[in-house]
Structure 1
Amino acid sequence: MKSFLIISSVLCMSIYVLADLSDEQKQKVIRYGKECIAETGVDKELVDKARQGSFSDDPKLKAFAFCLSKKIGLQNADGDVQTEVLKEKLSSVVDNAETVNSLISACVQKKGSPEETAFQTFVCYYEKTPTHASIF
C-alpha cells in the first residue's frame, strides 16, 4: 500500500507509511485527510495526483499540506516545525538515524508561509525517498 500522508518529508512530514501503521493510526490518517480536504476546499484530484508525485502549485493544496501537518503534529498553529516530533515519526518508519537526520536537514526549511513550508517539505520527502513515498 502506498504511503499516505504524513507530511512529510520531512518537515511537515508526518511520514506515516500506511503499511507500517496500526489500523487505528491508518483510520486517523484517513480521517485527517478527509477533514483537511473539507476544511481547505482542495480538489481531491489534486491530492490524488500529489500522492503520485505530481505536485500542483495550488494554494488550496498547500493549505491542505499545512492542515495535515498540524493534525499530525509536525507543525504548530503558527507554522513552526516540531522537529523532535518529526524526528520521532520518521524514526518509526526509517530505521537509520543518519538517514532521518539527512532527510530533516534537506527537507525541513522554513519558507515564506506555513503552507509553503508544509508543501515543500512533502515535495522534498517524496523526491528524497527511494520509494517515492507520498505524505498526502
Structure 2
Amino acid sequence: MKLFLLCITFLGLSFYTMADLSAEQKQKVVGYGRECIAETGVEKELVSKVRQGSFSDDPKLKAFAFCLSKKIGLQNASGDVQADVLKQKLASIVNNADSINNLIFACVQKKATPEETAFHTFVCYYENTPNHVSIF
C-alpha cells in the first residue's frame, strides 16, 4: 500500500517536484490520484508503470491523465490547456523561460479529445525533459 501511495504521489506531481511541495500539497496530490483512479477505473498497475516511462495506450489511463490535469488546474473541464497555470508550474522546475516556451510549444497540442490532449502532454513532457521529472 505504501508503494502504491508513493506512486500516486509521483503520478500527481504534474510539473511539480517533491521538494517544492508542502506536506499539505502532497496530501492533496495523493488525494487527487485516488479520486482519479476511482473516477476512471484505471488499473493501478498501469498508473504505476507510467512512473517508469511505460505509457499504455489505454482509454482509462488517458481519462486518468485528464482527471488529474483538471484537478491540478492544467486543463479546464472543457479540456482547454490553461497555459498560464502550466507556465507557472514549469517555472518552479525549469529556470529558463525559453526552455519553458519550447517545451509548451512542443508538448501542448490540442488532440481529438481532452483525454488525448492530457495524455500526449504528459508523455511529451516526460520524453523531452532531461531529468525525467515524474509527471503522472
TM-score with structure 2 setting the length = 0.89
Q: Percent identity?
A: 75
| Displacement of 1:27 | 1.1
**1:32 counterpart SS class:** helix
Structure 1: distance between partners of 2:122 and 2:69: 10
- Amino acid in structure 1 at the alignment position of 2:58: D
Match of 2:89 in 1: 89
Residue 5 of structure 1, CA deviation? 3.5
Q: CA deviation at 1:6?
A: 5.0
Gaps spanning 5+ residues in structure 2: where? 1-5
Partner Cα distance (1:102, 1:22) in 2: 28
Could you tell me which amino acid in structure 1 is paired with residue 17 of structure 2? V
Alignment map for 1:55-134 (pairs within 5 Å): 55-134=55-134
CA RMSD of aligned residues (A): 1.7
User: Take 1:62 and 1:48, find their aligned partners in 2: how far apart are those partners?
Assistant: 14
What SS does the corresponding residue of 1:121 show, helix, strand or coil? Answer: helix
- Matched residues, number: 130
Residue 42 of structure 1: aligned partner: 42
Distance 1:84 1:6 in 2: 19
The residue type paired with residue 17 of structure 1 is T
Name stretches of at least 5 consecutive residues in structure 1 with no aligned partner.
8-13
Following TM superposition, by how much is the alpha carbon of 1:25 offset from its aligned partner in structure 2, in angstroms? 1.2
Q: 1:91·1:100 contact (CA, 8 Å) conserved in 2?
A: yes
Larger Rg: 2
Residue 53 (structure 2) pairs with residue 53 (structure 1):
yes
Displaced runs of 4 or more, over 6 A: none
8 Å contact from structure 1 (residues 16, 89) kept in 2: yes
Give the secondary structure class of the aligned counterpart of 1:4: helix
Once residues 98 and 24 of structure 1 are traced to their aligned partners in structure 2, the CA distance between those partners, rounded to angstroms, is: 31
| TM value normalised by structure 1 | 0.89
Evaluate the alpha carbon distance shift between residue 26 and residue 67 of structure 1 in structure 2; reply closer, same or farther with a 3 A threshold.
same
State the distance in 2 between where 1:108 and 1:26 align. 25
Residues 107 and 134 of structure 1, relative CA distance in 2, 3 Å threshold: same
Between stretches 23-32 and 103-112, larger displacement belongs to 23-32
Residue 4 (structure 1) aligned with residue 28 (structure 2): no
8 Å contact 2:55–2:123 — kept in the other structure?
A: yes
